[in-house]
Structure 1
Amino acid sequence: MSGSALTYTFLGPEGTFTEAALLQVPGAAEANRVPCSNVNTALERVRRGEADAAMVPIENSVEGGVTATLDAIATGTELRIIREALVPITFVLVARPGVKIADIHRVSTHGHAWAQCRLWVDDNIPNAEYVPGSSTAAAAVGLLEGDAHYDAAICAPLVAAERPGLNILAENIGDNPGAVTRFVLVSRPGALTERTGSDKTTVVVPLPEDRPGALMEILDQFATRGVNLSRIESRPTGQYLGHYFFSIDADGHASDARVADALAGLHRISPATRFLGSYARADAQQTSVAPHTSDAAFASAHAWVRGILGGESAPQSVG
């Protein structure tokens, strides 16, 4: 990128939960922030070198993985996750001045937001039709345009506060008051972030062959090395019916011996495995490591094998 200021893309427009996640990054408030209408566009600008990194949603505590992001980072030119951010999610219902809840027949928002507000919607506007939006903020901003084909939008409180043309008809309409969305900052491949002891590693593993035990073989690479998985989701590759890849978050850093050994095992059985990064956990939760899976245990075991191969340790006689 030209100049000294960093450029970040994010799922826009301004005021989205994604921008709130981006603003948790040190220096992002002073950086160039470019809103994008969808995840693919945000990531492609990074791939083309038009931005230094992109902030995109990857997981929600209620709805699970964000499929658009999981698919976009699993294909195309490789990218790396360098940071994650957690944002508590609250929703409001907004409309143009003069519109009342009784007047609402069509509501627009992002699909994940709609899913998180369905109980409130069923109780208060049960006959309302859902109009998919590219983001919660885009749906709200669309109401200010003359050709909006819906009556109300579900968005973040910040969006409504920053736009005087929107009236808040209802607050805290989310079905789960503890909902949190996880976002990741994605850049082009480079040096790994430093290990902190509270880390996460993300990989994409294509199922090498659709046969009994194929998934178990993948999971065993982690289990036998004491690596805990915090997320695993299957996604279709799009090549043909029944062909899937697995998106996996594992506790630990690629420089941890147990994680490195697991990655090597994955590559042996599925050479198309894609490493998406090791980075600090947003919640700073320390990774629990059993003594026999510690770096010291792996180093001792490797030294023992080297000793055998080097003839330093003769096998004991039997009988």
Structure 2
Amino acid sequence: MTTDPDAPARRSYSYLGPAGTFTEAALAQVPEARNQHWRSVRNVGEALADVVEGRSDAAMIAIENSVDGGVSTAQDALATMPGLRIVGEYLVPVDFVLVARPGTTLEQVSLIAAHPVAYAQCLQWLTRTLPAHAHVPASSNVASAMGLLDGTSDADAAIAPPGILEHHELTLLAENLGDNPNAVTRFVLVARTVAPPAPTGADKTSLIAELPDDHPGALLEMLEQFATRGINLSLLASRPIGDALGRYRFVIDADGHIEDERMADALLGLRRFSPKVVFLGSYPRADRAIVRYPERYSDDVFVEARDWLRGLLSGEPEA
């Protein structure tokens, strides 16, 4: 078998594995990742290190869950690992199935393996359907099912992502276990630092910023950089910096693109205010919802104001 020397090299993508995870389901939504090399890793830090060190072209990581909030390990890693840029976001509905070894019936289930977060999200269903069950914590959603197959778990069944059935011979005992039918996890595709893609009108900008010091109104001053320019924030989460009590960084998702005049102006104001700003990227929103804003914050208004100021400085007579 010969290899075409002119064929493009296969790209590599890291994701939290093994096969069957929600992260794999998110990566499957990326058109350019299809038929490329997918590298299964054990944690977020390893996935991002693959990108920084060149083992992968990009990594898919979970950043936010509609039920549990921000994924702190991912937010902290993005805040402290330089050279990374978010290039896209993807939404995956969070639902679970109950699986068992072939031949097992639902009536035989009394001990269930599940990751603690997944278990909490299915507790109402479990209480209603299997009121006498006991719970065995698992290290991950996929590990709960793998323990049934490799003999390391004494559980009768496991709560796992639906994708597990595509990769392993397991019996489906029940589906749609999640107590919240609207639960969704937001994933981001992270690459090495590149120029942001062109604005689409349905974009999001992600940032991490620190307050200059701890004083009354400091957070309000930071938020005013966005509010006074008509920019809506869809995420504002605090994470401890770790060097002292009371010191926090803020993870921010803002509606709009860095090439929008109002966003660029806000970033300049934030840079003047904050001792450290990490620009994580401007990228298309997963829902493709067009960003709406009042006309007084349109690009033309900002351009006209700059032109007016330049005229004053140059001594041009005012019209």
Q: TM-score, normalised by structure 2?
A: 0.91
1:270 equivalent to 2:260? Answer no
Secondary structure of the residue that 1:82 maps to in structure 2? strand
Corresponding residue of 1:35: 40
Amino acid of the structure 1 residue aligned with 2:213 = E
- Which residue does 1:246 correspond to in 2? 250
After the TM superposition, which residues 202-221 of structure 1 pair with which residues of structure 2 at under 5 Å, given as runs?
202-221=206-225
**CA apart distance, 1:88:** 1.8
**Please, which of 100, 111, 130 is the counterpart of residue 105 of structure 1?**
111
Question: Normalized against structure 1, the TM-score is what?
Answer: 0.91
Is 1:63–1:115's contact at 8 Å kept on the other side of the alignment? no
Of the structure 1 ranges 72-81 and 152-161, higher mean CA displacement relative to structure 2 is found in 152-161
2:26 corresponding residue in structure 1:
21
- Larger mean CA deviation between 234-243 and 209-218 belongs to 234-243
Q: 1:139 and 2:162 equivalent?
A: no
Tell me the equivalent position of 1:153.
158
Identity of aligned residues (%): 50
Counterparts of 2:122 and 2:305 in 1: how far apart (Å)? 53
Distance 2:52 2:9 in 1: 19
Q: Using the TM superposition, name which of 149-158 and 261-270 deviates more.
A: 149-158
The answer to whether 1:75 aligns with 2:80 is yes
In the alignment of these two chains, the number of paired residues is 310
1:227 matched residue in structure 2: 231
Q: C-alpha root-mean-square deviation of aligned residues, in Å?
A: 2.0
Is the alpha carbon distance of 1:285 and 1:47 closer, same or farther for their aligned partners in structure 2, counting shifts above 3 Å? same
Aligned partner letter, 1:78: G
Instruction: Tell me how far apart the structure 2 counterparts of residues 235 and 191 of structure 1 sit (CA, whole Å).
Output: 27
Q: Which of 292, 299, 304 lines up with 2:303 in the alignment?
A: 299
SS in 2 for 1:143: helix
Structure-2 residue corresponding to 1:179: 183
Residue 128 in 1 paired to residue 134 in 2? yes
1:131-187 per-position Cα deviation (integer Å, ceiling 9, x unaligned): 1423x22322232112225443221222124311x2222211101112221110001
- In the alignment, what sits opposite 1:168? 172
Q: Is the 8 A contact 2:199 2:283 kept in 1?
A: yes
| 8 Å CA contact 1:131, 1:150 repeated in 2 | no
Stretches of structure 2 that go unaligned for 5 or more consecutive residues are 1-7
Q: Does the 8 Å contact 1:12/1:138 carry over to 2?
A: no
1:3-22 aligned within 5 A? 4-22=9-27
For structure 1, the residue ranges without an aligned partner over 5 or more in a row are none
